Amino acid sequence: MKIYVNGKLCDKADAKVSVFDHGLLYGDGVFEGIRAYNRLVFKLDEHIGRLYESAHSIMLQIPLSKDEMSKATIQTLKANKLTDAYIRLIVTRGVGDLGLDPRKCFGKPSVIIITDKVKLYPEDLYKKGMEIITVSTTRTSHSALNPQIKSLNYLNNILAKIEAVHLGYEEALMLNDSGYVAECTGDNVFMVSNNELFTPPVCMGALKGVTRGAVLQAARSAKILTHEHVFTRHELYNAQECFLTGTAAEIIPIVKVDGRIIGSGKPGKMTSELMKKFHELTKKDGVKY
């Protein structure tokens, strides 16, 4: 396996960063998770755009242009001869001292690109639907650490994931400080109500998911009314359908939330329709390599 580290393709064993890198010391950096389907990188520009927005927000100057970052991604995929892949882009603040101050990070930020095989939820969950549970860890508020920044500090999500795993669930529903539905630990959440599609606005405490965007667009072109609208668990419990979206998860139907059966208790019609449309999109929409 070849890994891109600061302009060089290294073997896995040689792909290393310093213990003084602030990405390690403080989670000071940003990242992206991208997928390639049959040698097509899905929504590459959107992911790179979000990476640069996250970096801009934390005042991190990425030492490559967006175009160079795309080329480096394709170069890494080709070097690994991967047809289908999960791609991780990482930019850390770089090597500094033991203090917090990013100005003390001399040298350039580190750029790392890892390409690997895709890991998914078990196949039967896509057919039968998954159960999720709300956890007590709330999503960070945008005034503390904006969930729109895809930063290397994922402890908020990890703490929620620990609660979910402890309770025997694969994924957890996270609320914001005001008790509104925000998102899951690594996926955005959608519900169908009155045959219309709802997802919380990102200001409720969600990442502006690339899959979320693709699903909203696919729904609109299928003449489904879509809303980025605030909702509570009560509305979710009484929804006709529920599903999650994410790069790794794609679209996964949710049939139970906190023990409440959603709709018929089976993956819903609109969910199945959007899953089909999404798969069609991944077959044709992407940057070829």
| Cα–Cα distance measured from residue 102 to residue 157, given in angstroms and rounded to the nearest whole number | 24
| Cα–Cα distance measured from residue 152 to residue 107, given in angstroms and rounded to the nearest whole number | 19
| Cα–Cα distance measured from residue 149 to residue 142, given in angstroms and rounded to the nearest whole number | 9
| Cα–Cα distance measured from residue 102 to residue 61, given in angstroms and rounded to the nearest whole number | 11
* Minimum separation from the CB atom of position 149 to ligand PMP (A): 11
* Minimum separation from the CB atom of position 252 to ligand PMP (A): 11
Q: Where are the alpha helices (DSSP H) in 131-198?
A: 155-166
Per-residue binder mask for ligand PMP (CB under 6 A), 245-274, x = binder: xxx---------------------------
- 3-state SS, residue 234: helix
Closest residue by Cα to residue 116 from 4, 251, 280: 4
CA 24 to each of CA 28, 97, 268, 279: distance values in angstroms, whole numbers, following the listed order: 7, 12, 42, 36
CA 149 to each of CA 43, 98, 282: distance values in angstroms, whole numbers, following the listed order: 18, 24, 25
96 binding ligand PMP? (CB under 6 A) = no
Only segment of 94-102, 192-200, 244-252, 279-287 that touches ligand PMP (CB under 6 A): 244-252
- Contacts of 219 by beta carbon, 8 Å cutoff, 6+ apart: 197, 226, 270, 274
157 binding ligand PMP? (CB under 6 A) = yes
Per-residue binder mask for ligand PMP (CB under 6 A), 27-56, x = binder: ------x-----------------------
Only segment of 89-97, 103-111, 241-249, 251-259 that touches ligand PMP (CB under 6 A): 241-249
Per-residue binder mask for ligand PMP (CB under 6 A), 52-91, x = binder: ----------------------------------------
Among 23, 209, 253, 267, binds ligand PMP (CB under 6 A): 209
170 binding ligand PMP? (CB under 6 A) = no
187 binding ligand PMP? (CB under 6 A) = yes
Strands of 287-288's sheet in order across: 8-11, 2-5, 110-116, 85-92, 29-37, 40-41, 287-288
Nearer to ligand PMP, 4 or 31 (CB): 31
282 binding ligand PMP? (CB under 6 A) = no
Per-residue binder mask for ligand PMP (CB under 6 A), 210-229, x = binder: xxx-----------------
| Cα–Cα distance measured from residue 16 to residue 221, given in angstroms and rounded to the nearest whole number | 45
122 exposed, middle or buried (CB, 10 Å; 0-12, 13-18, 19+)? exposed
188 binding ligand PMP? (CB under 6 A) = yes
Residues forming the active site: 150
Residues in the interface with ligand PMP (CB under 6 A) total 14
Interacting residues with ligand PMP (CB under 6 A): 33, 157, 183, 186-188, 207, 209-212, 245-247
